[in-house]
Homo-oligomer: A and B are copies of this chain.
Amino acid sequence: MGVVSPVDRDRAPKQDRSRATRQRLLEAAVACLAERGWAGSTVSVVAERAGVSRGAAQHHFPTREDLFTAAVEYVAEERSLALRALFPQGAAGAGHVDRRAVVSALVDLYTGPLFRAALHLWVAASNEEQLRSRVTELEARVGRETHRIAVELLGADESAPGVRETVQGLLDMARGLGLANLLTDDAPRRDRVVTQWAALLEQNLGR
């Protein structure tokens, strides 16, 4: 007790290395899924991209489904953290919530490589039984967490009738804007839509 044995001293850096390897694999998996789609994304391809042996990759993730659902979940969590960090004061107590900025940041969650990777995973899951239940469960979890963050950052009072559905519709709109950005750069149009709907929300959410 209180004495670090040589075994423990060895273990700590080893755990760090293992965590770093896991993280490299997850990031490589998301990039791979976004660029090549499900059909082009295998554990071997990801391991090579991450500079990790195939054996080590399979030690962390025994199956392809394990790797890719974990990857999308990992990045979704990172994005949630980044989103909260962007508005550290949240809406609590703050006199004024900049809803335009919050809506814009929420919509940004659905453009870029993470959304692209998640989209490939959803579409693949719609045709592949072994993926379907896992992705459905993951999607429900990520969706609930995103909703919670949105309510908090917008300073929305969900006890008022309709507010819950207003926020849900906003996140559906964000997802649709992500889809519209898949093939072309839709940023200028997206900015105008965000400005307008942030104004509508402002009227509707009050304060």
CA of A123 to CA of B124 in the docked complex: distance in angstroms? 10
Q: How often does this chain occur in the complex, in copies? A: 2
The stretch of A4-12, A47-55, A91-99, A194-202 in contact with B is A194-202
Q: What residues of B have a CB within 8 angstroms of the CB of A178 in the complex?
A: 176
Question: Of B169, B176, B182, B203, which is within 8 A of A196 by CB?
Answer: B169
Please state if B177 and A193 are interface contacts (CB–CB under 8 Å): no
Q: What residues of B have a CB within 8 angstroms of the CB of A64 in the complex?
A: none
CA of A39 to CA of B122 in the docked complex: distance in angstroms? 15
Question: Of B40, B136, B172, B183, which is within 8 A of A122 by CB?
Answer: B183
In the assembled complex, A171 has its CB within 8 A of some CB on chain B = yes
In the assembled complex, A15 has its CB within 8 A of some CB on chain B = no
Please state if A197 and B126 are interface contacts (CB–CB under 8 Å): no
Q: A165-B195, A171-B176 are in contact. Are A127 and B35 (CB under 8 A)?
A: yes
Q: A165-B192, A200-B204 are in contact. Are A177 and B183 (CB under 8 A)?
A: no
CA of A153 to CA of B168 in the docked complex: distance in angstroms? 24
Please state if A177 and B166 are interface contacts (CB–CB under 8 Å): no
Q: A123-B123, A175-B179 are in contact. Are A196 and B36 (CB under 8 A)?
A: no
Best-buried of A119, A125, A136 by chain B (most CB within 10 Å): A119
CA of A179 to CA of B179 in the docked complex: distance in angstroms? 9
Known: A35-B127, A37-B126, A122-B182. 14 other contacts (CB 8 A): A36-B127, A37-B127, A123-B182, A125-B183, A126-B182, A126-B183, A136-B184, A165-B192, A169-B193, A169-B196, A171-B176, A172-B177, A175-B175, A176-B178
8 pairs of residues in contact across A and B, judged by CB atoms under 8 Å: A119-B179, A122-B182, A165-B195, A168-B189, A169-B200, A174-B176, A176-B179, A179-B179
